Amino acid sequence: MNQQHRGQPKTENTQEPESAPAQEDEDTPQIQKKQTSQTANQQRIHEQHNQQGPDAPLPAPPPAPAPADATDVGVKLAAQLLGTSTAIVVAAGAGMSLDSGLPDYRSPAEWTAAFPELAARQLRYEDMAKAAHFDDSPRVVWAWYKHRYDTYQAAQPHAGYAVLKRWCDGARDGYRVFTSNVDGFFQRAGFPRSSVVECHGSMARLQCTSGKHGIWKSDAAFRKLSVDPQDPCTLAAGVEVPRCRTFGCQRHARPNILLFKDTAWEGTAATAHRGRYGAWLDALPDDSTLAILEVGAGNLVPTVRLEVERVVASRLARQQRTHVIRINPGRDVQDPSVQWPGQHVVIRGKAFDILTSIDAAMAMETA
């Protein structure tokens, strides 16, 4: 079936290289409706991430059933580990944001409920988050990113962020945040930007699709956008697609976030923050005890999980005390106490519930 939809991103078999060229006429992108089974779709997602570089997906560990009281036991142990720690790394994935009311774009049910028109055209999150579509289907992807930006702005960081901030402020040797989230919630919750590594970039900034010409704030561009009331899959008539701010460059702009099959992400700022974060880790005293709070980090995009593993391996090699507190609702999430020597814990549950439960347990210990 080769039916085409005007302004709709192409959804080809990703085993083949992306070959759609940038087009001058943004209203006539290359479009093709996909035909893939659910099994092939899952393979497709993993292949896309394999092409992003070093963040290859981790194999899913076998399910680890837990006793009924495992959550209470885990919460108490986490409270004890945090109470004896002198430094904190918060390693946060998408699960950290979900309790603020943000949708899980990778959930087929939530995607269909939030974007029925896109789902009807068999377009998913993985399709809308391709870098090439800012050139070949700009009006469609910018309409979706406008919705995404507005959703972030309307939501508020849940109380778990404030709990983390209080714990971090009390850490003798300081703290850092390492997150793959692009919503800016940590900064909105009071974390200084200098303490936050946004390893996949941020919706708060734009860049040129060329990957050149630096980055700039996105607020003004998003405020000028509006979606077609008759077709929410595209921008309203007369609304211009944001373009590069550099004089003489006529290329489209895009959010400064790492996308699928992205060879033009302007990651200079993220790299600089990551370097300062690494220097802080290296400068921690030998007698420090580091608590790594891994919250809502999965294996599909394993950047955060891989960073936790890197830090733990480095500190264990130097015989520095390190505790991993892994918070994730998945039943197949690996217990860090099986991965590494020392005291670690996995607590299966949502970020808000577990963080506030640990906070209550810490308060009881100090009462």
Residues designated catalytic = 200
DSSP of 243-306: B--STT--PBEEEEE--BT-S----HHHHHHHHHHHHHHHHS-TT-EEEEEEES--SSSTHHHH
255, 28, 14: which is closest to 137 by C-alpha?
Answer: 28
Residue with tokens 């393979």: 43
Furthest-apart CA atoms within the chain: distance in Å: 67
Is residue 197 within 8 A of residue 273, CB to CB? The reply is yes
Is residue 91 within 8 A of residue 294, CB to CB? The reply is yes
| CA separation for the pair 275, 317 (Å, rounded) | 20
299, 320, 363: which is closest to 95 by C-alpha?
Answer: 299
* 176 three-class SS: strand
Is residue 164 within 8 A of residue 91, CB to CB? The reply is no
* 14 three-class SS: coil
| CA separation for the pair 180, 300 (Å, rounded) | 12
Is residue 348 within 8 A of residue 329, CB to CB? The reply is yes
Angle between helices 351-366 and 70-83 (to 10 degrees): 60
